[in-house]
Amino acid sequence: MNYPESHRDCIIVRNLLVRGILGINPDERTSRQDILINLEIFTDISAAAASDSIEDSLNYRSLTKAVIDHVESAQDLLVERLVTDVANLILREFPAQAVRVRIEKPGALRFAESVGIETYRTASSSTDT
């Protein structure tokens, strides 16, 4: 995939497994379930690469903690809402130019490993919901 020049550096978080309330069925509203999250955070890493200092880097441990805290407390009905909220959270609270967020519910559909939604947002297109 071709990315704009400012979006070529990317921090990747793969298969972050969080337990939360997500869904419209009665059992989904009362029992926590697995929610699988994949993130691509597009940010300029040149300052951190040059200095080798965490102060010049996007702190992906803090970012991941913020995503986990949000997902564990959100209790959304739709994956569409959660994936949008996570993208907006990252763009609002961290120095990212763009983000790709994929959220999946493993085992949500019979005969499917998982079902999910992926979104791509830029800092200039992000809107809070």
Catalytic residues, by residue number, are: 105
Domain 5-122: give its CATH architecture.
2-Layer Sandwich (3.30)
Average pLDDT over residues 95-121: 94
Q: What pLDDT is stored for residue 93 in this prediction? A: 97
Closest CA to 30 of 38, 20, 39: 20
pTM of the model: 0.89
With cut-offs at 50, 70 and 90, classify the pLDDT of residue 3: low
The one-character DSSP state at 31 is S
Average pLDDT over residues 73-78: 94
| pLDDT greater than 60 at residue 70 | yes
| pLDDT greater than 70 at residue 46 | yes
Q: What pLDDT is stored for residue 128 in this prediction? A: 56
Identify the burial level of 84 via C-beta atoms within 10 angstroms of its C-beta, where 0-12 means exposed, 13-18 middle and 19 or more buried: buried
